Structure formats: structure tokens, C-alpha cells
Amino acid sequence: MEKYDITGMACAACSARIEKKISGLKGVDYCAVNLLANSMTVDGTASEEQIVSAVKSIGYGASLASRIETPKRDDTYKAESRKILRRLAVSLSFLAVLMYFSMGGMIGLPQPGVLTGGVIQAVLALCVIIVNRRYFISGTKGLIHFSPNMDTLIAIGSGAAFLYSTYILITSLATGEKAGDFYFESAAMAITLVTLGKFLEARSKGKTTNAVNALIDLTPKTANVIRDGEEICIPAAELAEGDIFAIRSGESIPTDGEILKGNGSIDESALTGESVPADKAEGEKVFAGTIIKAGYFECRATRTAENTTLSKIIRLVEDASSGKAPISKTADKVAAVFVPCVMIIALITFIIWLAIGASFADALTRGICVLVISCPCALGLATPVAVTAGSGTGAKLGILFKTAAAIEETGRAQIAVLDKTGTVTEGKPSVTDIIPVENESENDLLSDAFALEKMSEHPISRAIIDCCIEREIETKEIDGFTVEPGKGLKGRLNGAPLRAGNSSYISEIASIPDELISRANAFASQGKTVIWVSKEAKLLGMIAVSDTVKRDSAEAIDRLKAMGLKTVLLTGDKKETAAAVAEATGIDTVISEVLPDDKESRISAMRKEGKVVMIGDGINDAPALASADVGMAIGAGTDIAIDSADAVLMNSSLNDAATAVKLGKAVLKIIKQNLFWAFLYNSICIPLAAGVFIPFTGWELSPAIGAAAMSLSSFFVVTNALRLNRFKAFE
């Protein structure tokens, strides 16, 4: 999939025209044009030359976008804002003088003769047109290539007012007759107000990308590389895999790497959202853009600058912003025919008013007002500004949506399907209960168990070992260590037989009291595994081990259910364990003992009931993640799961899944509000501009007011989307 920069787009009609043209090319499987980002994403076998040529053939410019050192999008908007501001300042200066000559007489200001004043007005209006000639150039190109756009509407509307006024002026000068009304100020004011709207829009657009720009700002520009025993400062972009670089307190890590020497703490909040700095030591990983809070490290680069975790995050957010949400399809269809329809409506308006006896000037004014009040931009911006702001906000919270469709589908979620191990639970066993027999202490029981378990690599052994290390239990040496498959472990401690394993294995040499068997059965019903320990013929006690539920899982489930989602636990684990986890967290439905292939079919069946979000982390979750409406991968999970998912939860917290759904709903709400406004605005304002309400209410508009309304419509849509920058995750 390739991304292209597009130039010359004025409104949604432009993006729809380009999208239609490129989608029709042989070898193009997918095409999405983003009006907000002035970009196009294309997938297929069509060559770059074919695509660029096709875009140019309909009057626009295209070039392959660079994936490396892409300029921040708000820098582009700032540059655009400065250009528009200069045009606006000059236009307002000419317009102020023009208004003096056209309106000053009404309030008693001294005026030249009518014809002299008309000539001055014509010159001033022409100056405003020349300053804003881009509308006329773009609009004319659109007509020539049979793809009229918003600039076409502006050019025709303003141009018609100017040409009609010029005709009146020339006729009056030639005949010496009294001049009729001039509309030079309407022509100039319409263009100026449109330019004001474009300025406000460009400023607001830049704010929708604040989150992405903040991530780009994290990217270090230089790196201290150690070569031949000396530190050399080089551009971070020149770092190669295997290079050794040094970083000190207060410095930003230039690329992903592995610590070879040193220790200290690193602020990784920009990537993980975790406010507490992470302690790091030799052998651990570090990530580009994170900051050393204390300490000194020498690290080996494991990735180049364009392939770091930070770079991938930036690309994911930008790709999501550049894509199209399914909800935009209706707006796209309308936008494709919007401008031609408006031009036809304007012509019909002009003809009808002439037919019912209105003057040529009044009929022309109505037609011009229809042209300048209609706003295809609001339609085109309704979805992308919300998606861009939403995906950027998600990135700040450690939630990465890969596509615009993923954001929308998350907002529509009705069923949340969760894997157990590593998603709802920690993903690794830990000791939950230590029950020694009478006259034995917990530490004595752990000490003897430690002697055996430290010799094994089994996950349950690892849990007991970790518990003993945490408690600082003294280790003991044993002889004759043996693994009894399916039973347990045995050895000799100071000559005495020592065993650890299941109840049947221990009961071969030691008696187990009924009371402890009852407790063991209770643990089993909770999904815990019980390890019995004996020495010689005496039972020492039992240790219960379980994959513990994450601290925030129950809270996350409650939040998902509060938003109206049905929660389902889908796991390959045994029924008792799955039921215990569901009971502990409040999950609605349990589907257990499911094979990986069966997970996919279960997801497909649930999709018939509603939109499904699947949350998982393992290789066995990949098919299910891919088959769900939205697949969410826990960030600490496998690369395969992350690649199969539509969204990635960087913080590995189930609470982030609830936040993602909440954010998706907020984005969807903004999109619906924007589309409603865009359709409502045009549905009301176009008839109003055409004079439909005059016979009933007397309401009518001038072209200048129409132009102001059009400009503010686009500004409203962008500003509404900016509310997503204030989105708050669950506290």
C-alpha cells in the first residue's frame, strides 16, 4: 500500500473525483483520498507513473509520499495559514476601501461621482480577485476537466457579480445614462469571507494533529555513537543496527536497542502511558523517544530510525488518519455530485426568478447566493477531522488504531470477546495459597519445595521459585533429582526422600487428611493447581498455584458492560478454571475448552448477533482477532497477534480496551454530528439562498452573508472534531 501527496484539492468534490478516477485504473484494488491530509492511499499493482499521470489528467498534482522524515502535518498547516493570512490581510485592506466607496454615501461620507466611484470600485474588486486568483484558477481547471469543485462555485458566483457590475459600468460610461446598482462589494466580500473561513479552517486542522506532532517531536535528532573507544555525535537517522550508543540522564534514546552496560530509570510514558519511570539494567530493551531520568547506559541499536517502535506508532496513527471510515460512504456519494447539482440549482433559481418578474440583478443575486452558500467542504471534512483527532488522542493514551474503519467499528461494538491467558489474567502462574500441615511453617514448606522446584523448568515450578526468591527463602541442595511425568518431582534431601506433585503421587507414601483434600478441591474449583509436598513418609503441606487475574480486569469488564457491551470469555482452558475467572471478573458468558481453529468459528457465529471486538494476545488468538469486526491485541503479546489485530493496546491493560471503546463511541458521535450538520446546513441554506422562504417569511440572503455562512460551516465541523482532544480516559 502506497501513500501519495495530492495538491490542488479544494473540497470533497475534488477528493471524490480523484478517488473515482484512480479506483477505475486497472490494477488498483483500493483507493482512499483524504481531504484533510491532502493525501491518497492506494493498494494494488498499478505503477506510480500510472497513478500520478491519472491524477494529473484531471487537473491535480500527485507525488509519492516519503515514509522517512515526513514533515509534521501541522507545519504544513502553519505554512498554509501564513499564506492565507497574507492574502486575507491584503484582501481586507482593499475591501475596507471598497466598502467606503460603495456604502459610505449611505452614512453621509463624501463620495465621488457615481461613474467615477464605480470605476474605483471595479479596480478595488479586481485587486481582491487578483490576490485570491487561486479560486479562479482552480475553479476553471475543474470546469475544463469536467470536475467542478467548491472553487468553481466561488469563481462563478464572485465572477458573475463582478462581470455583471462591470457590464453595467461600461454601458453607463458608453451611453452616459444613469448607472444601475453595482455588486462589486458583493464579489469582493464573498471572496474575502471565504478566505477568512479557509484561514480559520487551516488553523483548526493543524490542531487535529497535535498528538501525532507530539510523537514526532519525541524523535531524537542526534545520537552519541561509540567508535574506537570514543563518542561521536551523529544524526540519529544514520544509526545502523549493531551500533553502540551512549545515553545519559536527561537525554532521549535515539533508537530501539538493548542495554549492554549500566543501569538506571527511564521515562517511557510517551509510549506506555505509565507515569512511573521504569528501572532498567543490562540485557533489557530500550525504545526510541523515551528519556533517561537517572543513570548511564551503553546500548546496542537493534533497529534503524525508520523502524523503531516510535516510528511504527507514528505510521499507524497517520495511516489510520489517512483512511476512510465506512460511515463516510454516503457523504462521498453526495460530494461526487454535489457541485454539479448546486450549479444546476443556481441556474434554475436564476431562471425562475426572472420568469416570475424579478429584475435581472435580483435573479442574478439569488443564483450567486446559492453558489457561494453551498458547502461541500463540510461534507468532505466531517469524517477525516474526527478520525484524525480520535486516532491521535488514542495514541496519547497508548491505543493504536490501524485504520479509520477500526475506530468506527470499535464505536459500534456490541460484544466484547476476551481471551483468558495474558488478557484477563497475568499470563503466568503465581503462588496464591501456602497451606502447611500442623507443626510446619510456610517458610519450611517453601524451603523444601524450593529445593525440588528449582531443578525444573515447568511454569508451575517457575511460580514457586519466584515466590521463594521474593520471600528470600534459603535454597537447599538435593541429590538424585528425578522428574516423574504426569506425577511430580522427587529427590533426596540430606538422605531423606523428598517429593512434590499431585495428590495421587504424594499419597503413595504419605497420608493426606480429609480436611486438606476438601480445601484442595475448593482450590481446584477456583481454577487453581495444587502441589503437594512430602518428606520421607510425612506430608508437609500444599501450595496452590494459579494464573492470577489482572488487577484491573474486573474494573475493565464493569466499564465494558456499563457501555452496553456483552462480555464473553473465549478460552482453551478447562471449564472450571474459565468459570472461576469469569466469576472473579463479572464476565457474562464463558466458552471454554475451545481449540484455536474453533475460536474463529465461534467469533463468526457471534458476529451474527452484533459487532464483535476480540481482545487477545497469543499466537492462537491471531485467527480470532482477524475474523472479528475489530481485533485488539494486548501490546505485550506476540508480533503475530499484533499484526493480525486492527488495534493495539500498548499498555497491556484491559482497561485500555474499555477506553478504546469509549473513544470509538466518541469519534462516531462526532462524525454523526458533523455529517448531520453538513447535510442540515446545505438542506436549509441552499433553499434559503434561492429565495424559497421569501414568499412565506420574507427571509433572504445576500451573497456576502452566504459566503460567510459557507466559511463558518467548515470551521464548525473542524472545531467540533477538536473536542476529541479533550477526551478523558476512565479515571
Known catalytic residues?
A: 419
Q: Taking the CB of residue 309, how many other CB atoms lie within 10 A of it? A: 18
SS3 category, 262: strand
Residue 517 CA to residue 605 CA, distance in Å, equals: 41
Helix-strand-coil split of the chain, %, nearest 5: 55, 20, 25
Of 2, 1, 42, 3, the closest CA to residue 19 belongs to 42
Q: Which amino acid is at 86?
A: R
Degrees (nearest 5) of the Cα angle 526, 532, 536?
170
Of 463, 650, 653, the closest CA to residue 550 belongs to 653
Which helix (H) or strand (E) segment is 351 a member of? helix 329-355
Residue with cell string 487551516: 202
SS3 category, 547: strand
Centroid of chain to Cα 86: 33
SS3 category, 730: coil
Residue with cell string 502553519: 78
Centroid of chain to Cα 359: 53
With helix as H, strand as E and coil as C, how does 56-92 read?
HHCCCEEEECCCCCCCCHHHHHHHHHHHHHHHHHHHH
Q: Find the Cα–Cα–Cα–Cα dihedral 503, 504, 505, 509, rounded to 10°.
A: 100
The cell numbers describing 41, all together, are 492511499
The cell numbers describing 618, all together, are 497469543
Pairing of the two strands 28-34 and 39-44: antiparallel
**DSSP string for 97-163:** HHHHHHHGGGGT-----HHHHHHHHHHHHHHHHHHTHHHHHHHHHHHHTT---HHHHHHHHHHHHHH
The cell numbers describing 257, all together, are 536497542
Of 137, 168, 170, the closest CA to residue 154 belongs to 137
726, 389 contact by CB (below 8 A): no
Where does residue 729 fall: left (phi above 0), alpha (psi -120 to 50 degrees), or beta otherwise? beta
Residue 549 CA to residue 39 CA, distance in Å, equals: 44
Which helix (H) or strand (E) segment is 370 a member of? helix 360-373
Of 210, 266, 273, 217, the closest CA to residue 635 belongs to 273
Residue 200 CA to residue 81 CA, distance in Å, equals: 8
Residue 440 CA to residue 455 CA, distance in Å, equals: 23
731, 725 contact by CB (below 8 A): no
| Residues near 103 by beta carbon (within 8 Å), at least 6 away in sequence | 185
136, 129 contact by CB (below 8 A): yes
Integer Rg of the chain from CA: 35
Residue 268 CA to residue 276 CA, distance in Å, equals: 8
670, 717 contact by CB (below 8 A): no
